[in-house]
Amino acid sequence: MLEAAYAVLRERGDREVFLFSADEGAFWLHQGYQRVAPEELAQRLPQTPQVRSALETGWLADSLAWKSMLPK
């Protein structure tokens, strides 16, 4: 499933991947992701539905955020 998502992102020309996760930190670390402040994700992707929802409902501060360079 991740490879299919990465293929779409590569076609769009994206270089980085950001995501929110309720848990599963070990999985994302194993996939090469680094934990980042949720505010960094929100700053980089302010118009995404997930970020807008997090800001509107107040769950941003309590979330886990991750980023990785897009695997080649």
Q: DSSP letter string over 21-68? A: ESS-HHHHHHTT-EEE-HHHHHHHSTTSHHHHHHHHHT-STT-EEEEE
Q: What is the pLDDT of residue 72?
A: 80
Structure confidence by residue, pLDDT tens digits, 9-28: 999 999 999 998 887 789 99
Distance CA 18, CA 5 (A): 12
Distance CA 53, CA 30 (A): 28
What pTM was computed for the model?
0.83
Structure confidence by residue, pLDDT tens digits, 23-65: 778 999 999 999 999 999 999 999 999 999 999 999 988 889 9
Q: What is the pLDDT of residue 71?
A: 84
Distance CA 13, CA 2 (A): 16
* Total number of domains constituting the chain: 1
Q: Which domain holds residue 57?
A: 2-69
